[in-house]
Amino acid sequence: MMHGFLPVSREEMDCRGWDRVDFVYVSGDAYVDHPSFGTAIITRTLEAHGYRVGIIPQPDWKDEKSITLFGEPRLGFLVSAGNMDSMVNHYSVSKKPRKTDAYTPGGKTGKRPDYAAVVYGNLIRRVYKKTPVILGGIEASLRRMAHYDYWSDRLKRSVLLDSGADLISYGMGERSIVEIAQALEAGIDVKDITFIPGTVCKVKTLDSIYDAVYLPSFEELKEDKLNYARSFYTQYCNMDSFSGKRLIESYGEHLYVVQNPPSLPLTQEEMDAVYEYPYMRTYHPSYEKEGGVPAISEVKFSLASSRGCFGGCNFCALTFHQGRIVQARSHRSLMKEAEGFVKDKEFKGYIHDVGGPTANFRFPACEKQLKAGVCKDRQCLFPSPCRNLRADHRDYTELLRKLRKLPGVKKVFIRSGIRFDYLMADKDDTFFRELCEFHVSGQLKVAPEHVSDKVLLRMGKPESSVYHAFAEKYARINKSLHKDQYLVPYLMSSHPGSTLMDAVKLAEYLNKTGHMPEQVQDFYPTPSTISTCMYYTGVDPRDMSRVYVPVNPHEKAMQRALIQYRDPKNYKLVAEALKKTGRTDLIGFGRHCLIRPARADRDTTDSKIAEKPGTPGRSSGRTGKKKTIRNVHRKKGK
């Protein structure tokens, strides 16, 4: 097997002695040959199975010639929008264009189109009428069936239909892409490849489709949002590779989109193999003159130890993409990769992360998941840990110990997120203590998201009491270790179910604890999450109960401002929110108050105070000023 980057030009293809490629991979990202990038994993997987792959990164979608770089591939085109949905990549939650793109050389924007999977698919189809086109990646995976699109604020058809593609390989894709390649190699017409797990196909008749569940038709989904909520939850309950059924979505009398059950999870041996392909572990050298690709900096010295997540946060799309069954690499494989870090001249001794979607998940939630799959009617951690949950950090602890002892490693960080309710479910505190002692550098970032239990219920997160208990235990352990370390809570505003009163409650909590978040995530309705379904339909698809949804931009701005109530530029929004909720008791000079009265109100108040005998007011000079300074210092925790 020839090592080096896969070809991105005809010259590089010729250097390999190839006269033609089997597949052309079209990507919305720049070419980074690192296992944190979907392009690299899929192309190296195909290479390992004997297929020749050429890559066209970020083609000019306005020029049909850009797609003809390698000519017509022998077996087909593979299309991905990149590591992110192109619309999330392009726009903030307020739908304002982002200023940078970490997956493009130099961080420049404008190198990929909106709805990239659709645009690239149609670009290819205009030039190559009959060549198979297979979509993959996060954008296609989460838009594989009818879905609500936040940016156009409407229901959209399956991306398979709008792109002109033949198949979607959804999820992580290593199994399905090889099976697709083998089917094409065997001479099976792409229109007849309707049977591979982890794929979505389109058919004109249902003669070859069996053991399927019929979803409401696209017309029925458009007619009634409640139909969409029911349809979405049916999909959600069939995302298990062991028990999931085929799903059929009708688009008229002679057009159906069929989703096959998910691919089986990879074994540990298969996971190891995927991450041990001969990656170059950096961006293609042609990007050097533009400053490289920024996204590599966070992952170059990080270890992906697992995939899949049984956390079940409703605003997260992992259930629809990686699934709920956790798969992990062996210690041997991870140590081998870490030893490679030490040999890299750019390595400074710091491993940036050891984790995955959730760092402290290293195996399936319970024994039965690898035999019978996940439960359809319950979650592993929500609303409280299942009695069958295996809460055990021993394997993860042992892995981290090995990495710490590796010559040349100074510090091993954990940055991909700790699930604190899972940590609290483990009766053995060994990992908790070692986390604080060795893997935190002053601050530990965790995601309680909110403090209102009724909002947390809609988020699929544990009750606030669990986070409070975790925070207290974290403080105790750090005190016993004589370490001055803090928690940095990630918080979310305007999630479905969150009223303005809930936002005020969150602000009161922040005031009481002294937290001042530097960053706040306003809820972002991305495709294929339960929370997005709530946002669009106004109901919780799990039980069809009504949900309050903050959609007014001004109310959302107030909810966001309340989390950062100390920021002077948020003053007017915070004051308005407090008046609107009848919480003007939080406007004043007391320690419990969020903001002070506005200047005009303050002058009136001070005048009344000054009229009272023996009471120092504004005119009392030095005494009143000292009191004000002391109050400010109390608020800052000084």
Higher pLDDT, residue 142 or 630: 142
The DSSP call for residue 187 is T
Reported confidence tier of residue 629, pLDDT bands at 50, 70, 90: very low
Q: For residues 540-569, give the mean pLDDT.
A: 96
Q: Check: CB of residue 141 under 8 Å from CB of residue 168.
A: yes
Whether the predicted pLDDT of 1 surpasses 60: no
Q: In whole numbers, what is the pLDDT of the chain averaged over residues?
A: 92
- Number of Cβ within 10 Å of residue 590's Cβ equals 9
Cis peptide before 59 (omega within 30 of 0): no
Q: CA 41 to CA 352: how far, in whole Å? A: 21
Burial pattern 125-149, b for ≥16 Cβ within 10 A else e, equals beebeebbbbbbbbbbbbbbbbbbb
Q: Check: CB of residue 90 under 8 Å from CB of residue 116.
A: no
Q: What is the pLDDT of residue 633?
A: 37
Q: Check: CB of residue 18 under 8 Å from CB of residue 52.
A: yes
| Of the candidates 415, 433, 432, 435, the residue with the CA atom closest to the CA atom of residue 424 | 432
Reported confidence tier of residue 601, pLDDT bands at 50, 70, 90: low
pTM (2 decimals)? 0.91
Residue pointed to by tokens 């974290």: 474
Whether the predicted pLDDT of 422 surpasses 50: yes
Q: What is the pLDDT of residue 622?
A: 36
- Helix (H/G/I), strand (E/B), else coil: 16: coil
Whether the predicted pLDDT of 281 surpasses 60: yes
Q: For residues 1-22, give the mean pLDDT.
A: 91
The alpha carbon torsion through 451, 453, 458, 459 (nearest 10 deg) reads 40
- Number of Cβ within 10 Å of residue 10's Cβ equals 14
Reported confidence tier of residue 600, pLDDT bands at 50, 70, 90: low
pLDDT in tens, 67-101: 999 999 999 999 999 999 999 999 999 999 999 99
Whether the predicted pLDDT of 608 surpasses 60: no
- Write out the two tokens for 529: 């999450």
Angle at which helices 331-343 and 268-275 cross, to 10° = 10
